Structure 1
Amino acid sequence: MNDVSSAQPRRARVRAPELIGKGGWLNTGGQQYTLADLRGRIVVLDFWTFCCINCLHVLDELRELEEKHRDTVVIIGVHSPKFVHEAEHQAVVDAVERYGVEHPVLDDPELATWKQYAVRAWPTLVVIDPEGYVVAQHAGEGHAHAIAKLVEELEAEHEAKGTLRRGDGPYVPPEPVATDLRFPGKALLLPSGNFLVSDTTRHQLVELAADGESVVRRIGSGERGFADGAAGAAAFSEPQGLALIEDGAAVVVADTVNHALRRLDLATGAVTTLAGTGRQWWQGSPTSGPAREVDLSSPWDVAVFGGKVWIAMAGVHQLWTYDPVEQAVAVAAGTTNEGLVDGPGAEAWFAQPSGLAVSADGERLWLADSETSALRWVDLDGSVHTAVGTGLFDFGHRDGAAEQALFQHPLGVTALPDGSVAVSDTYNHALRRYDPATGEVTTLATDLREPSDAVLLAESGDIVVVESARHRLTRLRLPEEAVRVESVAHRTQRAATEVAPGKLQLDVIFQAPAGQKLDTRYGPSTRLLVSSTPPELLLGGDGAGTELERVLELNPSVPEGVLHVSAMAASCDDDPANEYPACHVHQQDWGVPVRLAAGGVGRLPLVLAGMDEG
């Protein structure tokens, strides 16, 4: 175990590197900033990318800190793209509005600042004190409580030294734009012929007439919140997926940031809660039980399959089910490890499943597995299969045979009557089609803008696409033949770490936050899981264990690949007098691209959590 003792001597203070980003600054009213401009303030850098569900969790975690310490703390998002689309400046502008980011954001499409701070994973938080020195770094989510405590300590220390500067921060909100929809997520055809749309950024559901444009009614107050009640009083937080239940009398809603399933009564507009507590699921929490008593994690889409509501649980890379008869939830597939592994549901790996659709014959549940840019399906027996996609770091726009075809972060799937499936290929701005009969992928339409879902109109043969970044529904006629586009393939643009072939020492460095200690009351408090793509990269050291250090054996005949590392540690308040200490689980998944080279490093350190490194 690699527990860094608090008794170790303090390291020499490290001056924070400058903030550099070719895309410039957002949410500052056009003002450009340097660290010198922020001297006297506590700065929290949030290295994020908008495809990453863990990054979106951190945005929500930071809201309370941001509000409570607005006069002393400046949070700066450093947008560091994974996908090619995320390097487009307008896409970052859209994402900042879509997710309600209320602090300055530095657009760093070339990862210049990411490299200066030696960041290895999304998300990573770095704390800089008022004198410009790095004092803490945390990888992963769930660190808001530790950062809040550190901020209070820094406020007291630098108030006493006279180095703390209070006042308004650099955040300037953008001008609001008047549109009927704002970054809609999913759509549903209602029995009436109207459409129900999740108006995600405005925290509402909107019913549109059959023309797909005229607003019939709005459900929800429009303010971010979690409240049941009548149509005008109920509150959502970034709702997404929708599915008809109760023979079309009601709709189940994936209320994503509230970590809940909600029920909309179509006749009255009343909203109630079906599942979830409003709290996010963490490792060690129950994975089944009464629906209102079990935590969920960022449910992104829902579909009725085999008599149950299936849930694309993007936040934990799993599929869950809600049983409306038993009013219970349970894990149906996935281990919480992020990746692409087929097989029995209990052994399968997913990566942010974000779109669900049941095949025309009811035999398959199709899913868009967004982070692996994959189209996958689940059989009625729960087994998981992949139609298109190879892993976390391969993506692009390529038609043809399924084993060669590529998507880029698809968010939606739509079953077609002939057994094929339309894929909302979000970051390629395209609608694609996979035909199981031929094993071929074709392109149906291009020049869409971040399509996130589509609804088939069976009678007319049209398909209505949710163009999320154009804030509208777009009706298309399915063409007789696919549109041909030039093939493009990509890999994630993070630079590979050069490692020596043979033995590689992997060290996951964990330091419990101040005032806490490792929780060993019920056995080992740490877990480490290691695998690789391709699997042949590792001759030894893969698998699960409880120690946070391990020797890996790299295959010299495999020149490059990706090491997948998942680490977890549990810590509790270190106060013997407290009979019920507060406990926290720290978890992070890394995908580390490596290249074998003579003279490469023999040790790979990964920081799970770090405190007070100044």
Structure 2
Amino acid sequence: MTETSIRTDYRVRASELVGRNWLNTGGRQLTLEDLRGKIVILDFWTFCCINCLHVLDELRPLEQKFSDVVVTVGVHSPKFEHEADPDALAAAVERYDIQHPVLDDPELTTWQAYTARAWPTLVVVDPEGYIVAHLSGEGHAAGLESLVEELVEEHSAKGTLHRGDGPYVPTESTAGDLRFPGKAVPLANGSLLIGDTGHHRLVELDADLVTVRRTIGSGEKGAADGTADVAQFNEPQGLAVLPQQVAQQIGYDVVVADSVNHLLRGVSLADGAVRTIAGNGVQRLLDAGNHVKARPAELQESPDQLGGYDGDTPEDATPRLTDTHLGTRPLEVSLSSPWDVLWSTVLERVVIAMAGTHQLFTFDPVTGSVDILAGTGLEGLLDGDGAEAWFAQSSGLAEDASGNLWVADSETSAVRTISFPEINGHRRTQVRTAIGTGLFDFGFRDGAADQARLQHPLGVTALPDGSVAIADTYNGAVRRYDPTTGHVSTLARGLSEPCDVLVDLTPTATGSEPLLIVVEANRHQLVRVPIPKEALAVDEGASQTQRPQTPVVAGSHALTIRFSAPKGQKLDDRWGDPTQLKISSSPEELLVSGGGTSVGLTRELVLSDSVSEGVLHITARAAACDGEPGGEIPDHAACHLYQQDWGIPVRISHDGETGLTLDLRGLD
């Protein structure tokens, strides 16, 4: 394949922007005509999506550099029911410091008009109102900058570019001492340490959950180490207190998941000093459209991982992941949106919920060793051996009395458990799903675990009786799962995006009724919640993500994934075909043939005529390295792994489509 730009080769008028309301415009209802003369970047996003949050940060430098000619419009097209709540969207816009207009598109009207199929999707509209690029996934910042420069030159010459301020109008903050707090951890002195995410700092609160004892971090967004008043964070989330003997050996007490910086930070409680302990600050890019900033060997993948597979046929082939050890130089390892951290008494390591790559990592603070504990990097729900399991934006961690890990796997609305059985003298990592069924299933239902439903949980904690409490974030509830009975119940409702939950260990909580402390993000506070003897039973039904279904005919379908290496890169074909497709369906009976994993970006699918509707799950990968097309790849060239996951809802119709074409990247 030859190098190309991301610009399309067709001229199509952009559709009008239609939705329920506009945010960040001072109440003004915008139209495309209002934006004529500007280069418009439409960012189709949903606030649950980690890849969408990555794109928000990718766009910030571009928006700043071209502030007089570029207008970004966030088109919020929700996945979960809760995300369609206008108050929840307004809170998310404030939480993520979005400084451009946002269109509330709860019915996915504008999403459909622009044929978006995945979160995130970017569409570029030129100053005359024509679509010039249509991109899926993240990792497009460099290509967008080149395109904007090209459009500025072209439309300046034509006289169709209008410079000046855009329509963005900031809103007032609703926060107090805390601003969208993320996670909390109890300290030995009876206080709590909070990830004050929206203020980019840590806050130590007294046991009354109100009085601020001290803050750690300047409150300015950044990544600086130093004293408590100088250090900087960028949306810190999870915290883990280390055992005293480990802390004394290494010189810090608390590990912090510094999510947007893609770093782990170490904090000394004695003086509040902050140091970086893991991560090079460059996002580890293993998923949709991401770039890997080093040779694939940095990922500890065999050179032929994309070109060779275990198994006898493509239908049962799976990539070989030969090593999970990432090295003992933690400051050279790339991380991706670490969301929670936990000290594992079994592993004697810090476990990291690596939300950005849908994996769990471990970090040994004594040796500096960084390793992959579980997860292939593919997004979904798949149990089994840790090296083969799939996760989906894991965001909360807990350990029970037996040393098992519990994981709030947010995008699958699931709770997963990880055990470490000894098999033939070797410790294995086994993943099992306690609650949840898949990426598109959610709801609010108590009862047997296989029928119970959650909605985007972000936190979990072990309770004294062996059950676990779950911060069921988008249901505004705290739920309880009892592994003994396999039953799910509801402990509390009416909360505003609870994102963490922990057992209250303060002396005032040692009454007859145990208490939980809940981090209530959208009310900027921590609250105590009793654990009642009889939990309220709830059944508000099970739901699926409401996305438009594509009508398709039963029978044969030609699937094509369009991909070209961007400028300055070439496909890395040194070890065979560097592309890969993995395809499955829900229900399984929908796909008669064409499923499984194999090389190449085309596949012949056969859909059943006995299933009326379902979802096609498609993952495409391609590997490229820096170098000129037709030439050799230089030694030590930076190599890049591009990936996009699609869930395409379909319904069988006699006049439906007979083929499916998707873009891994925009094509010329």
TM-score (norm 2): 0.88
User: Contact (CA 8 Å) 1:204, 1:236: kept in 2 or not?
Assistant: yes
TM-fit CA distance, 1:479? 0.7
Please give the alpha-carbon distance, in whole angstroms, between the structure 2 residues aligned to 1:119 and 1:546. 25
Q: Which residue of 2 aligns with 1:488?
A: 541
User: Contact (CA 8 Å) 1:141, 1:586: kept in 2 or not?
Assistant: no
The Cα offsets for residues 300-329 of structure 1, whole Å up to 9 and x where unpaired, read as 111112211111111011111112232111
Q: Which residue of 1 aligns with 2:306?
A: none
Q: Which residue of 2 aligns with 1:420?
A: 467
**1:393 counterpart = 2:440:** yes
Q: Which residue of 2 aligns with 1:450?
A: 497
Q: Which residue of 1 aligns with 2:303?
A: none
Q: Which residue of 2 aligns with 1:536?
A: 589
Please give the alpha-carbon distance, in whole angstroms, between the structure 2 residues aligned to 1:309 and 1:131. 53
Q: Which residue of 2 aligns with 1:250?
A: 253
Q: Which residue of 1 aligns with 2:166?
A: 169
User: Contact (CA 8 Å) 2:6, 2:666: kept in 1 or not?
Assistant: no
In the TM superposition, what are the counterparts of 1:187-586 in structure 2 within 5 Å?
Answer: 187-247=184-244, 250-283=253-286, 284=296, 285-287=298-300, 288-289=326-327, 290-305=329-344, 306=346, 307-362=348-403, 364-380=404-420, 381-458=428-505, 459-460=510-511, 461-514=514-567, 516-571=569-624, 572=626, 574=628, 583-586=639-642
Q: Could you say what secondary structure the match of 2:384 adopts? A: coil
One-letter amino acid of the counterpart of residue 170, structure 1: P
Q: Could you say what secondary structure the match of 1:495 adopts? A: coil
TM-fit CA distance, 1:360? 2.4
Q: Could you say what secondary structure the match of 1:152 adopts? A: helix
Please give the alpha-carbon distance, in whole angstroms, between the structure 1 residues aligned to 2:535 and 2:2. 57
User: Contact (CA 8 Å) 2:44, 2:119: kept in 1 or not?
Assistant: yes
TM-fit CA distance, 1:200? 0.6
Q: Share of identical aligned residues, percent? A: 59
Please give the alpha-carbon distance, in whole angstroms, between the structure 2 residues aligned to 1:373 and 1:42. 37
Please give the alpha-carbon distance, in whole angstroms, between the structure 1 residues aligned to 2:549 and 2:15. 22
The Cα offsets for residues 165-200 of structure 1, whole Å up to 9 and x where unpaired, read as 111111111123450111001011111110111011
**1:95 counterpart = 2:135:** no
TM-fit CA distance, 1:584? 4.0
In the TM superposition, what are the counterparts of 1:155-166 in structure 2 within 5 Å?
Answer: 155-166=152-163
User: Contact (CA 8 Å) 2:409, 2:458: kept in 1 or not?
Assistant: yes
TM-fit CA distance, 1:132? 0.6
Q: Which residue of 1 aligns with 2:60?
A: 63
User: Contact (CA 8 Å) 2:3, 2:568: kept in 1 or not?
Assistant: no
One-letter amino acid of the counterpart of residue 457, structure 1: D
Q: Could you say what secondary structure the match of 1:487 adopts? A: strand
User: Contact (CA 8 Å) 1:573, 1:582: kept in 2 or not?
Assistant: no
Cα distance change of structure 1 residues 205 and 509 upon mapping to structure 2, 3 Å threshold: same
Q: Which residue of 2 aligns with 1:111?
A: 108
Please give the alpha-carbon distance, in whole angstroms, between the structure 1 residues aligned to 2:516 and 2:640. 46
TM-fit CA distance, 1:543? 1.9
The Cα offsets for residues 388-433 of structure 1, whole Å up to 9 and x where unpaired, read as 1000111000000001000000000010011100000000000000
Q: Which residue of 1 aligns with 2:75?
A: 78
One-letter amino acid of the counterpart of residue 433, structure 2: T
Q: Which residue of 1 aligns with 2:19?
A: 21
One-letter amino acid of the counterpart of residue 519, structure 2: V
Cα distance change of structure 1 residues 67 and 325 upon mapping to structure 2, 3 Å threshold: same
Q: Could you say what secondary structure the match of 2:299 adopts? A: coil
Q: Could you say what secondary structure the match of 1:347 adopts? A: coil
One-letter amino acid of the counterpart of residue 356, structure 1: L
Please give the alpha-carbon distance, in whole angstroms, between the structure 1 residues aligned to 2:379 and 2:614. 16
User: Contact (CA 8 Å) 2:4, 2:566: kept in 1 or not?
Assistant: no
Please give the alpha-carbon distance, in whole angstroms, between the structure 2 residues aligned to 1:159 and 1:131. 12
Please give the alpha-carbon distance, in whole angstroms, between the structure 1 residues aligned to 2:539 and 2:580. 44
TM-fit CA distance, 1:268? 1.1
Structure 2 spans left out of the alignment, 5+ residues: 287-295, 301-325, 421-427
288-297 or 452-461, which moves further after superposition? 452-461
One-letter amino acid of the counterpart of residue 108, structure 1: D
Please give the alpha-carbon distance, in whole angstroms, between the structure 2 residues aligned to 1:9 and 1:470. 43
Structure 1 spans left out of the alignment, 5+ residues: none
TM-fit CA distance, 1:5? 7.9
TM-fit CA distance, 1:503? 1.5
Cα distance change of structure 1 residues 491 and 213 upon mapping to structure 2, 3 Å threshold: same
TM-fit CA distance, 1:563? 1.4
TM-score (norm 1): 0.95
Which residue of the other structure, out of 641, 644, 647, is the alignment partner of 1:591? 647
Please give the alpha-carbon distance, in whole angstroms, between the structure 1 residues aligned to 2:383 and 2:37. 52
User: Contact (CA 8 Å) 2:206, 2:213: kept in 1 or not?
Assistant: yes
Please give the alpha-carbon distance, in whole angstroms, between the structure 2 residues aligned to 1:141 and 1:7. 16
Cα distance change of structure 1 residues 26 and 64 upon mapping to structure 2, 3 Å threshold: same
User: Contact (CA 8 Å) 1:573, 1:583: kept in 2 or not?
Assistant: no
268-277 or 287-296, which moves further after superposition? 287-296
Q: Could you say what secondary structure the match of 1:167 adopts? A: coil
TM-fit CA distance, 1:524? 2.7
TM-fit CA distance, 1:6? 5.4
TM-fit CA distance, 1:28? 1.2
TM-fit CA distance, 1:4? 8.2
Q: Could you say what secondary structure the match of 2:178 adopts? A: coil
Cα distance change of structure 1 residues 6 and 480 upon mapping to structure 2, 3 Å threshold: closer
TM-fit CA distance, 1:273? 1.2
User: Contact (CA 8 Å) 2:100, 2:168: kept in 1 or not?
Assistant: yes
One-letter amino acid of the counterpart of residue 335, structure 2: L
User: Contact (CA 8 Å) 2:386, 2:430: kept in 1 or not?
Assistant: yes
One-letter amino acid of the counterpart of residue 505, structure 1: A
One-letter amino acid of the counterpart of residue 215, structure 1: V
One-letter amino acid of the counterpart of residue 486, structure 2: G
Please give the alpha-carbon distance, in whole angstroms, between the structure 1 residues aligned to 2:81 and 2:474. 8
TM-fit CA distance, 1:518? 3.1
**1:600 counterpart = 2:656:** yes
What do you get for the CA RMSD once the two structures are aligned?
Answer: 2.0
One-letter amino acid of the counterpart of residue 589, structure 1: D
User: Contact (CA 8 Å) 1:219, 1:232: kept in 2 or not?
Assistant: yes
One-letter amino acid of the counterpart of residue 418, structure 2: V
The Cα offsets for residues 509-538 of structure 1, whole Å up to 9 and x where unpaired, read as 123334544343454332222122233332
User: Contact (CA 8 Å) 1:360, 1:416: kept in 2 or not?
Assistant: no
User: Contact (CA 8 Å) 2:7, 2:147: kept in 1 or not?
Assistant: no
Please give the alpha-carbon distance, in whole angstroms, between the structure 1 residues aligned to 2:33 and 2:7. 29
Q: Could you say what secondary structure the match of 1:530 adopts? A: strand
TM-fit CA distance, 1:581? 6.2
